[in-house]
């Protein structure tokens, strides 16, 4: 049945945005933890650990996120495991975001000159101390713009979770379009909501970057 | 027992042999100037002493500890061996004070208030007491290098290595850094310095080591070795750098 598009539909869209945000938060948190581990593996002084990190990154970057969602949600149920959509989404997004964040952060860590590590080592600091007091503080500043850039991608990529049953912003837009048959207006509203989420983030990132520059 | 003992040290980068059987002992309190063309292996030899360069043959020992033994705790060793680099390598995100106090605090567990006093003391020694709260990029090259020396001194090392520490400086800034070096030398610090400042080497060093093609080509008391070279290689080198 086709009905008119009303402000109620807009409220539904805004309500669905909370799932977009919740998925983003989970993905970023899980991805952050995995990413940190991957970045550290990738700068390790032990070659096998570096390879492990590299294999992970290449494997995940070379496969679609959609496939990971399917594997965790439908794939595991074949073996008799019932996986809740939240758990499946958390696992798939953490794996996916972890690979990309890991690569971003590895790049930032490696952008700090070798000589900074050397200066730390020469003063008697161990690997983790060099990392914590010398490398990470400098890498952090470099990491902010690309990390926020990826976060913005992540917000938009949470729409893929619709395939395992999440009614987040894009899926809600689809449903609203189906009942009102006003795709142009509906998707314009959807786009506006995405923009309202992403734009402040990029602005915040620029401010943060400037502030860290002043404070060194 | 010598403080530093290099025996037949061999260092290769792939096919390229950088150190080809280098032996050298340094006594406590000695000041050794190491000279030679670029590529002669002098910086590499220096970096072997605190274990920054792994070696492929021979032994490097500091105060009886074999540096190239995999079981040696390099972190412990490096608390006693300071090094100052050509490119300063200060930590750009930390103030001068934090640059100096980081290692004493983190490695030795010196309390913050005491660390600050320590920083003030070593900065006075290099004549930069008023720069304690500055950041590295607010300092000239000469000042940065003096802070780097102060940072190294704050660990109270038994030996200091200086790797061409004036080579990256504008000519008018070299003097202030050499003055600080002289000051450190006067206090009885054992020093090994790779340098192109022949005049300075003659004045301050007890002994000069001339390196050529990965070997110690000639060594001896500073004035004598620099004044009457025995080998044509040293003679050529000196006439090239002195005029």
The verdict on residue A191 lying in a domain is no
Comparing CB atoms, the residue among A120, A125, A138 nearest residue B93 is: A138
Q: Residue B27 is encoded by which pair of tokens?
A: 């006594």
Q: Pick the residue from chain B with its C-alpha nearest to A119.
A: B89
- As given in the structure block, the two tokens for residue B77 are 């060793």
% of chain B exceeding 70 in pLDDT: 100
With contact defined as beta carbons under 8 Å apart, do A100 and A58 qualify?
no
Site of tokens 């009614």: A167
Assigned domain for B134 exists: yes
Residue A215 placed within a domain? no
Chain A residues closer than 8 Å to B102 by CB: 123, 125, 133-134
Is the distance from CB of B107 to CB of B78 less than 8 angstroms? no
Task: Please report the ipTM that was assigned to this predicted complex.
Answer: 0.92
- On the question of pLDDT at B99 being above 80, the answer is yes
Residue B91 backbone dihedrals phi, psi, to 5 degrees: -90, 110
Which of A191, A174, A211, A201 has the alpha carbon at shortest distance from A9?
A: A174
- Which residues of chain A lie closer than 8 angstroms to B93, CB-CB? 137-138, 141, 216
Nearest CA-CA partner of A28 in A121, A158, A167: A158
Domain membership flag for residue B27:
no
| Residue A120 is assigned to a structural domain of this protein | yes
pLDDT at A50: 95
Cβ distance B93 to A137 less than 8 Å, yes or no, reads yes
Query: pLDDT tens across B166-180, in order?
Result: 999 998 999 999 999
B78 contacts on A by Cβ (under 8 Å): 121-124
Counted residue by residue, chain B has a size of: 243
Is A131 domain-assigned? yes
- Residue A197: predicted pLDDT: 93
Q: Residue B123 belongs to what domain range? A: 89-156
Indicate the residue of A133, A141, A216 with minimum beta-carbon distance to B135: A216
CA pair distance B106, B122, nearest whole angstrom:
18
Domain range for residue A28? 24-169
Q: How confident is the model at residue B100 (pLDDT cuts 50, 70, 90)?
A: very high
- With CB atoms and an 8 Å threshold, state whether B107 touches A123: yes
- Looking at the domain assignment, is residue B16 inside a domain? no
In a domain, A182, yes or no: no
A147-194 pLDDT, tens digit each: 999 999 999 999 999 888 888 899 999 999 988 888 999 999 999 999
Query: Is B120 within a domain?
Result: yes
B162 lies in some domain = no
Q: In the prediction, which pLDDT does B119 show? A: 96
In a domain, B130, yes or no: yes
CA distance A212 to B1: 51
Q: Quick one: which of A83, A133, A112, A41 has its CA closest to B104?
A: A133
Read off φ and ψ for residue B66, nearest 5 degrees: -80, 110
Closest CA to B161 of A14, A186, A118: A118
Can you point out the beta strands (E) in chain B? Answer: 4-13, 16-26, 31-35, 57-62, 65-66, 81-84, 159-163, 190-194, 207-212, 215-221
B-chain residues within 8 Å CB-CB of A137? 93
Is A123 within 8 Å of B102 when comparing Cβ atoms? yes
Q: How many domains does chain A have?
A: 1
Q: How far apart are CA B196 and CA B165, in angstroms?
A: 10
The pLDDT score that the predictor gives to residue B137 is 94
DSSP H helices in chain A: 7-43, 47-61, 65-70, 76-78, 85-111, 114-122, 127-130, 136-157, 169-180, 183-214
Strand-strand pairing, B57-62 and B4-13 = antiparallel
Position A213 scores a pLDDT of 65
Contacts of B90 in chain A (CB under 8 A): 119
Structure-block tokens of residue B40: 């002669």
pLDDT in tens, B54-73: 999 999 999 999 999 999 99
Q: Which residues of chain A have pLDDT under 70?
A: 1, 213-216
pLDDT one-digit tens code per residue, B5-29: 999 999 999 899 999 999 999 999 9
CATH number of residue A113's parent domain: 1.10.3720.10
Q: Is residue B68 part of a domain?
A: no
Q: How many domains does chain B have?
A: 1
Torsion sign, CA atoms A67, A69, A71, A75: negative
Count residue pairs from A and B with Cβ separation < 8 A. 58
For B178, the token pair is 């050499």
Q: Distance between CA B180 and CA B190 in Å, rounded?
A: 15
Whether residue B229 lies inside any domain: the answer is no
User: Hunting for tokens 């690569």 — which residue is that?
Assistant: A103
Residues of B with a Cβ under 8 Å from any A Cβ are 50, 52, 74-76, 78-79, 81-83, 85, 87, 89-93, 102-103, 106-107, 135, 137, 151-152, 155
**Average pLDDT for B180-208:** 93
How many other C-beta atoms lie within 10 A of the C-beta of residue A166? 24
Are B192 and B83 within 8 A, CB to CB?
Answer: no
For residue A186, being part of any structural domain is answered with: no
Cα–Cα distance, A171 to A60 (Å, whole number)? 25
What is the reported pTM?
0.85
Query: In this predicted structure, what is the pLDDT of residue B1?
Result: 80
Give which of A117, A119, A128, A139 to mutate to test B binding, by max B Cβ within 10 Å. A119
**CB–CB of A122 and B91 under 8 A?**
no
* pLDDT, position A154: 94
Q: Which residues of A fall below an 8 Å CB-CB distance to B?
A: 115-116, 118-126, 129, 133-134, 137-138, 141, 216
* Per-position DSSP letters for B68-127, written without gaps between them: T-TTS-HHHHHTTEEEE-TT----TTS-HHHHHHHHHHHHH---HHHHHHHHHHHHHHTT
Whether residue A15 is contained in a domain is answered as no
Task: Give the tokens for residue B169.
Answer: 């400086």
The confidence score (pLDDT) of residue A165 equals: 85
> Contact B91/A119, CB-based, under 8 Å?
yes
Q: What is the pLDDT of residue A83?
A: 85
């Amino acid at each position: 049945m086709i009905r008119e598009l009303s402000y109620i539909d807009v409220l539904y869209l805004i309500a669905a945005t909370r799932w977009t945000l919740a998925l983003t938060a989970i993905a970023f948190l899980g991805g952050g933890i995995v990413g940190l581990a991957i970045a550290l593996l990738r700068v390790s002084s032990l070659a096998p650990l570096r390879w492990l990190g590299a294999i992970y990154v290449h494997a995940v970057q070379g496969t679609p996120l959609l496939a990971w969602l399917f594997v965790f949600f439908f794939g595991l149920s074949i073996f008799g495991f019932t996986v809740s959509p939240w758990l499946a989404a958390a696992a798939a997004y953490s794996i996916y975001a972890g690979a990309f964040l890991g690569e971003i952060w590895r790049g930032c860590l490696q952008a700090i000159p070798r000589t900074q590590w050397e200066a730390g080592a020469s003063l008697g600091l161990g690997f983790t101390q060099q990392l914590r007091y010398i490398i990470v503080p400098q890498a952090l500043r470099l990491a902010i713009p690309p990390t926020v850039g990826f976060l913005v991608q992540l917000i938009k990529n949470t729409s893929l979770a619709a395939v395992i049953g999440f009614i987040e912003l894009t899926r809600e837009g689809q449903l609203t379009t189906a009942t009102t048959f006003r795709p142009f207006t509906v998707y314009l509203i959807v786009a506006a909501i995405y923009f309202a989420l992403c734009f402040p983030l990029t602005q915040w990132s620029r401010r943060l970057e400037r502030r860290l520059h002043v404070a060194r | 027992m010598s403080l530093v003992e290099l025996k037949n040290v061999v260092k290769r980068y792939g096919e390229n042999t950088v150190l080809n059987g280098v032996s050298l002992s340094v006594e406590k309190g000695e000041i050794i100037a190491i000279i030679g063309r670029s590529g002669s292996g002098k910086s590499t030899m220096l970096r072997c002493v605190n274990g920054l360069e792994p070696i492929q043959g021979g032994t490097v020992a500091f105060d009886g500890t074999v540096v190239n033994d995999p079981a040696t705790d390099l972190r412990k060793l490096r608390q006693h061996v300071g090094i100052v680099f050509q490119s300063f390598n200060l930590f750009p995100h930390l103030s001068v004070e934090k640059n100096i106090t980081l290692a004493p605090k983190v490695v030795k567990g010196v309390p913050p208030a005491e660390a600050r006093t320590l920083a003030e003391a070593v900065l006075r020694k290099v004549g930069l007491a008023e720069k304690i709260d500055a950041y590295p990029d607010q300092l000239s090259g000469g000042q940065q290098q003096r802070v780097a020396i102060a940072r190294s001194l704050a660990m109270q090392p038994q030996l200091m290595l200086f790797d061409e520490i004036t080579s990256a400086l504008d000519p008018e800034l070299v003097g202030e850094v050499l003055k600080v070096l002289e000051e450190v030398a006067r206090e009885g610090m054992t020093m090994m310095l790779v340098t192109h400042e022949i005049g300075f080497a003659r004045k301050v060093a007890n002994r000069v080591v001339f390196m050529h093609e990965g070997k110690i080509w000639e060594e001896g008391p500073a004035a004598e070795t620099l004044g009457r070279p025995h080998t044509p290689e040293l003679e050529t080198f000196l006439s090239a750098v002195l005029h």
